[in-house]
Amino acid sequence: MQKFKLEPMMDKIWTCIGIGLAALVLWAGTGFSTAGAQSESISEATPPPGPAPEAIAPGELDVEDMQLMIGAASVCEAVKNGIPRNEAIVFSISLGRVYCFSDFLAVPQQTFIYHHWYYQDQQRASVKLLVRPPRWSTYSSLQLRATDVGPWRVEITTEDGSVLRTLRFSILE
């Protein structure tokens, strides 16, 4: 903890290194997720905004005691500046794309989470997303086709398959 109390110059250097590493890992994660997508209608999230807007300073969390904790999660019409827009449970197919946004309040360590997209109990896509400590928000999206009208759900799971949240919605004509 003493280390974070060095002079401002060192803080800037560490911050630059951190941002650089984060960008590198994010780029790698983007490649992974896209590869993991099982449907052309799915595109992985555009690079998430990284730390959530209300990011907690790393020094304020006890990393060893933390568990991966999901906060807000929703299906929405768009994600702008890391914020979901027009969260809803029904979407017109004319939108062309819907988004699944998930905000992780506590991330103990860098890990992957999954967004599994199901159409009437049949899995249509699975998107692997990177989340990083201490807090992270990320999203995936579904490109809509004419045959996608009907009930859907997105299961947000950990890497080992534990379901963190299930979001249910419908695509309307």
Partner 1 sequence: MDFLVNFFQALRWQDVLDILLNSYILFRFYVLFRGTNVLRVLFGLACIWFAQRLALSMGLIVSSWVSQGITAAAALIVVVIFRNEIRAVLQTKNIKAILWDLPQKEVTTPIEVISDSVFEMASRRIGALIVIPGKEELEEQVQHGVDWRGHISKEMIISIFWPDNPVHDGAAVISGNRVREVKCILPLSKREDLPSHYGTRHRAALGLAESTDALVVVVSEERGKVTVAKDGLLQPVYHPAELERRLRNHFGVFLKGRPGIINESLEIVLASVLSVFFTLGIWMSITQGLDSLASFDVPVEYMNRKTNQEIIKASDDSVELQISATRSLIRTVDPDQLRVRVDLSKAVIGRNSFVLTRENVTLPPGVILKNLEPERIDVTLDVLVEKELPLQADWVGSMPEGLLLASARLIPDRVVVIGPSRMLENLQTLYTEEIPVDPLTTSDSMTVTLALNPSVKLAPWLENRVNIDYQVQPREPL
Which range, of 1-9, 37-45, 76-84, 134-142, touches partner 1 by CB under 8 A? 76-84
Asked if residue 172 binds partner 1 (CB under 8 A), the reply is yes
Cβ proximity to partner 1: between 136 and 169 the closer is 169
Binding mask 131-150 for partner 1 (x = CB under 8 A): -------------------x
**Which two three-digit tokens encode residue 137?**
């928000």
Burial status of residue 73 (CB atoms within 10 A of its CB: 0-12, 13-18, 19 or more): buried
Asked if residue 151 binds partner 1 (CB under 8 A), the reply is yes
Asked if residue 46 binds partner 1 (CB under 8 A), the reply is no
Which range, of 19-27, 44-52, 84-92, 127-135, touches partner 1 by CB under 8 A? 84-92
- Choosing from 26, 61, 66, 78, the residue that interacts with partner 1 (CB under 8 A) is 78
Asked if residue 71 binds partner 1 (CB under 8 A), the reply is no
At residue 49, the 3 state secondary structure works out as coil
What is the arrangement of strands in the sheet containing 69-80, beginning at the earlier edge strand?
Answer: 42-44, 136-143, 97-106, 69-80, 83-87
Exposure b/e, 44-65, CB count within 10 A at least 16 = b: bbeebbbbbeeeeeeeebeeee
Distance CA 70, CA 68 (A): 7
User: Running DSSP on this structure, what letter comes out for residue 14?
Assistant: H
Asked if residue 90 binds partner 1 (CB under 8 A), the reply is yes
Distance CA 125, CA 115 (A): 8
Asked if residue 77 binds partner 1 (CB under 8 A), the reply is yes
Cβ proximity to partner 1: between 26 and 88 the closer is 88
State the residues that interact with partner 1 by CB under 8 A: 77-78, 80, 85-90, 92, 118, 120-121, 150-151, 153, 166, 168, 170, 172-173
